[in-house]
């Protein structure tokens, strides 16, 4: 096939074999968030480029290297959203949803776009489910976000496969002081830093902490740690969070090098990671961003949130064989009809059955065909029963009901009795 007729690298089709597990994850998550009192918000996929440049921050990988940015026909610079938080903050500000200290507990789901090197668990179009809470400054809500994700892992059966990593980034003042200390330490060893880290020393030095380079990591062993620079309030906030997680029985590891890729985080940051997916092991990541709303010109408004990567969760479900079998249920019945009169009757009968039995999965043959070919289709469809309708059945207002998954005999069932008989196999 010519290249222009293929999907763009890193942008995947999600085929019918996979959509059931996607839907399962999405509905499980939506129900869970309902039960915690969070509301869904739906946001545009395109925003002005400036929103991300200002919100995520110049000097971050996302803004500098990963955005899909283009001019529209009106010469405005637009960007396919690389994440959800900036757009969500824009929306709550634009609609006055956080004024007067109003609390907002929101969630969204949808595709995000980043120009990254595609590999297992890392794509150019990927999907996130995200949660954002506004005007809740305390560690209690940070704990709630973590507790609800822990409940999700439990529901999905993957609690044993994920661990929680936690850190505090302190106040922006504390971070600035720490940044200076880190930079002056690393400058003494500039030549030993990998190339990316050398660049980050001026653009975004905290990101050097999660460099994948071994030599850089060994330099960092003796570097000053952020924890020693935490301000008292951030320390108290962090202690409050840890106490709540202990009380909820949620285990965590403190990872002093956890800094997150986006600029707007302060105080709490966390990641849920797994060792089952190779190097793309973070399935959920988030933290507090109390400074972001005012960065966009709003009144100072505390914010905290997280996003999880659906592709990575799907991969994890598949790897751990957690995909529930009942996601791929076969049809209950397949109607075979022979001749135009029977076809017309089949259409009405099928609709009456669907009215009577809302949970019914019913297929109706299309395209005519001999008895043999329709019966073969019914069998191949995986349906439990073939319902057979020819001239004789039509005259008697009955169908022939042939069980397809065992050897039992075909029975003749009156149309009127059919809903009740099928209801028995729905139960």
Binding-site positions for L-histidine: 83-85, 114, 128, 132, 260, 264-265
Among 88, 245, 307, 316, binds ligand ATP (CB under 6 A): 307
User: Least distance to ligand ATP from the beta carbon of 376, Å?
Assistant: 41
Q: According to the binding rule CB under 6 A, does residue 114 interact with ligand ATP?
A: yes
In whole angstroms, give the CA distance from residue 142 to residue 136: 9
- How far is the CA of 125 from the CAs of 10, 83, 282, 397, in angstroms? 6, 11, 17, 53
Q: Residue 293's CB: how many other CB atoms inside 10 A?
A: 23
Selected range binding ligand ATP among 96-104, 122-130, 323-331, 397-405, rule: CB under 6 A: 122-130
Selected range binding ligand ATP among 149-157, 305-313, 355-363, 415-423, rule: CB under 6 A: 305-313
Give the pair of three-digit tokens for residue 243.
Answer: 């106490």
Binding residues with ligand ATP: total (CB under 6 A): 20
Tokens 């709630």 locate to 144
Q: According to the binding rule CB under 6 A, does residue 285 interact with ligand ATP?
A: yes
In whole angstroms, give the CA distance from residue 156 to residue 320: 11
User: 110: which strand partners?
Assistant: 128
Give the pair of three-digit tokens for residue 414.
Answer: 């009156």
Among 29, 107, 123, 338, binds ligand ATP (CB under 6 A): 123
Among 63, 161, 283, 394, binds ligand ATP (CB under 6 A): 283
Q: According to the binding rule CB under 6 A, does residue 196 interact with ligand ATP?
A: no
Q: Residue 114's CB: how many other CB atoms inside 10 A?
A: 20
Query: Which residues have CB under 8 Å from 60's CB, separation 6+?
Result: 204, 207, 261, 262, 263
Q: According to the binding rule CB under 6 A, does residue 134 interact with ligand ATP?
A: no
Apex CA 287: angle with CA 145 and CA 10, to 5°? 100
Q: According to the binding rule CB under 6 A, does residue 241 interact with ligand ATP?
A: no
Where is the binding site, in residues?
A: 83-85, 114, 128, 132, 260, 264-265
Q: According to the binding rule CB under 6 A, does residue 153 interact with ligand ATP?
A: no
For ligand ATP, the binding residues (CB under 6 A) are 83, 114, 116, 121-123, 126, 128, 260-261, 280, 282-285, 307-309, 311-312
């Amino acid at each position: 096939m010519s290249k222009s007729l293929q999907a763009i690298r890193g942008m995947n089709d999600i085929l019918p074999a996979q959509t059931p597990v996607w839907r399962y994850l999405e509905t499980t998550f939506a129900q869970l968030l309902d039960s915690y009192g969070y509301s869904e918000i739906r946001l545009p996929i395109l925003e002005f480029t400036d929103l991300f440049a200002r919100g995520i921050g110049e000097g971050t990988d996302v803004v500098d290297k990963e955005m899909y940015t283009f001019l529209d026909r009106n010469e405005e610079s637009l960007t396919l959203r690389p994440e959800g938080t900036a757009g969500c903050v824009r929306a709550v500000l634009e609609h006055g949803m956080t004024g007067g200290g109003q609390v907002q507990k929101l969630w969204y789901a949808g595709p995000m776009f980043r120009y990254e090197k595609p590999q297992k668990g890392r794509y150019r179009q990927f999907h996130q489910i995200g949660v954002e809470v506004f005007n809740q400054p305390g560690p209690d809500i940070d704990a709630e976000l973590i507790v609800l994700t822990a409940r999700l892992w439990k529901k999905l059966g993957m609690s044993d496969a994920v661990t929680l990593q936690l850190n505090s980034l302190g106040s922006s003042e504390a971070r600035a002081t720490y940044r200076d200390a880190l930079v002056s330490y690393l400058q003494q060893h500039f030549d030993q830093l990998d190339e990316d880290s050398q660049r980050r020393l001026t653009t975004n030095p905290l990101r050097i902490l999660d460099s994948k380079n071994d030599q850089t990591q060994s330099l960092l062993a003796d570097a000053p740690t952020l924890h020693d620079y935490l301000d008292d309030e951030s320390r108290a906030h962090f202690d409050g969070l840890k106490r709540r997680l202990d009380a909820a029985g949620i285990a965590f590891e403190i990872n002093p090098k956890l800094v997150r890729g986006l600029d707007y985080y302060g105080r709490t940051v966390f990641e849920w990671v797994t060792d089952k997916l190779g190097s793309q092991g973070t399935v959920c990541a988030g933290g507090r961003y109390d400074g972001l709303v005012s960065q966009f010109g709003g009144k100072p408004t505390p914010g905290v949130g997280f996003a999880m990567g659906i592709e990575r969760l799907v991969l994890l479900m598949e790897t751990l064989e957690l995909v529930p079998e009942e996601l791929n249920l076969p049809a209950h019945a397949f109607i075979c009809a022979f001749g135009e009169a029977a076809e017309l009757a089949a259409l009405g009968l099928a609709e009456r059955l669907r009215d009577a039995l809302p949970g019914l999965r019913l297929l109706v043959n299309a395209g005519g065909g001999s008895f043999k070919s329709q019966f073969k289709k019914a069998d191949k469809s995986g349906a439990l029963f073939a319902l057979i309708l020819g001239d004789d059945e039509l005259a008697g207002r009955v169908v022939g009901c042939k069980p397809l998954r065992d050897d039992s005999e075909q029975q003749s069932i009156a149309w009127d009795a059919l809903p009740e008989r099928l209801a028995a196999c729905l139960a």
